[in-house]
Amino acid sequence: MEFIDLLMLGFSHSLTPTNLFYCLVGALLGTLIGVLPGVGPTATIAMLLPITFSLPPLAALVMLAGIYYGAQYGGSTTAILLNVPGEATAAVTAIDGHQMAKNGRPGPALAIAALGSFFAGTIGTLLIAILALPLAALALKFGAPEYFSLMVLALVTSVALAHGSLLKAFAMIFLGLAFGMIGTDVYTGAQRFTFGNLQLADGVSIVALAVGTFGVSEILRNMESRQAERRLTAKVQGLLPSRDELRRSIGPVLRGTFLGSLLGVLPGGGPLLASFGSYSMEKNISRHPETFGKGAVEGIAGPESANNAGAQTSFIPMLTLGIPANPVLALLLGAMILQGIQPGPNVAVRNPDIFWGLITSMWIGNVMLVVLNLPLIGIWVRLLSIPYKALFPTILVFSSIGTFSVTGNVFDLYSIVFFGLLAYLLIKLGCEPAPFILGFILGPIMEETLRRAMILSNGDPLIFVQRPISATLLAFSAIAVLFVVLPMISNRRADIFVED
């Protein structure tokens, strides 16, 4: 069977000592930053992106992917034990997880979170493996108009599923598209928006943009208030959940995995929306909704499965279509480009070793996480005592050196400051940075496909609605916008993000 052969090919690459090592490093680093509040996976991957430049392509991607899903595991640990969600995705886990810990069952809460995550991660990885080839084959039939409409759909859904002002999110996409155009025009060689500066001829450095937008802005945000001291409230003794707890977890884990897998594929979806969505779903269908918030195991099992499933399946559009579902995937796409791999449906055909190696490594990483995490909980909790005043200088200096090391271009260091201050200001003004980086990454491809489509149609924009696939994709985009604009639905959208 071809499918099994491909998986075997993948394992033959992901099980080499080098790649196993980087998988472990990524998973451990991911857990570490997942545990530490104020340090997110996007900033970490931005910071480490330059370092991976010197690694072989597969090792680089395996490590960066490990950081992403590792953070989903780590975030729940401190949410449960200390009521400090290390990641935004673990915020809902803290509600019932911490109550369970207070009720004297921290061990089972951690075990359920880890096992649910592992189950969801396995299903998520399997889904990628099954869906990747058919989707890539479909995408290979796409012409320029279809590709353009697909990117419109991706950007629109990423905005529709994000929270906050729709207008501001659209404006951020356009700002990202605009910054993506800086540099040399590929068709004519014209210099665009470079101020005659040769160092901008290759465009804005994605590493500098990411480090500034996600690293520096995050540091500034954390400096607004003094960091509170954290105290461990419960000692972890037994890990084994009771039979009743296990039985009550099965349904939420299955539903969470399903919901997470679905939301993960959608641009702008991903783990955050998945965990919030799963929590409100479990609360709505529960026969005892009053137990939620008081230590209901369903409130841990569902969201924790959902966020890990979402983290895995968000790789599907990135690997098969070259479309990042969220900023982390945008950076992974950037890592592929840095490594000289052209993202898109061709990756599976041209680089099957990397494609299948990465997919299988994600399952291996999930195994490592579930095996390593529970015994190491003591260490993770102790790491929380690292003060932020030591952490942020490390992040700043490390990413400065890293960014400089990619091109040896001092200008990129000044770009970090520019994007850091701009992003921080915009965040303060209620504009989320995620659509900005998606626009930046997709901008050049969008422009190119638009130009090719127009040549194809002799300059007639109607080509986008005359070709059936393209028209369908645009219709979906319109529906997505309508969904958000209609007040009744948008009110409900806001509800998902309200914690009680």
Partner 1 sequence: MRVNISDLAAGAIFTAFGLYFAITAYTGLSIGTAFMMGPGYFPLIIGIGLVVFGLVIAAKAFGRTSEPFTWPPLTSVLMVAATPVVFGLTVRGLGFGPATALAAFVASLASREASWRFRLLLTAGLTLFCLAIFRFALNLPLPIIGHWLS
- Residues within the interface to partner 1 (CB under 8 A): 51, 54, 165, 167-168, 170-171, 174-175, 177-178, 181, 185, 187-188, 190, 192-193, 216, 219-220, 223-227, 387-390, 392-394, 396-398, 400-405, 410, 413-414, 416-417, 420-421, 425-426, 428-431, 447, 450-451, 454-455, 458-461
CA distance 109 to 103: 10
Amino acid, single-letter form, for residue 11: F
Q: Which residues of 422-441 are buried (b: 16+ CB within 10 A; e: fewer)?
A: bbbebbeeebbbbbbbbbbb
Nearer to partner 1, 121 or 145 (CB): 145
In whole angstroms, the minimum distance from the beta carbon of 223 to partner 1 comes to: 4
User: Closest distance between partner 1 and the C-beta of residue 275, in Å?
Assistant: 26
Q: Do residues 125 and 309 lie in contact, with contact meaning Cβ atoms separated by under 8 Å?
A: no
* Beta carbon of residue 259, minimum distance to partner 1 (angstroms, whole number): 32
Structure tokens at 280: 């409100």
> Closest distance between partner 1 and the C-beta of residue 37, in Å?
16
CB of 461 to partner 1, least distance (A): 7
What are the backbone dihedrals phi and psi of residue 184, each rounded to the nearest 5 degrees, phi first? -85, 130
Closer to partner 1 at the Cβ: 214 or 315?
A: 214
Report CA torsion sign: 13, 206, 315, 285. positive
The packing angle between helices 352-373 and 17-35, to 10°, is: 50
At a CB cut-off of 8 Å and minimum separation 6, what does 191 contact? 183, 184, 185, 201
Shorter beta-carbon distance to partner 1: residue 80 or 422:
422
Nearest distance in Å: CB 393, partner 1: 4
396/496 with CB nearer partner 1: 396
Residue 247 CB coordination number (10 Å): 11
Nearer to partner 1, 47 or 354 (CB): 47
| Of 7 and 178, CB closest to partner 1 | 178
Cα-Cα-Cα-Cα dihedral sign, residues 431, 182, 148, 133? negative
**340 φ/ψ sector (left φ>0, alpha ψ -120 to 50, else beta):** left
Nearer to partner 1, 286 or 400 (CB): 400
CB 366, min distance to partner 1, A:
27
- Residue 135 identity: L
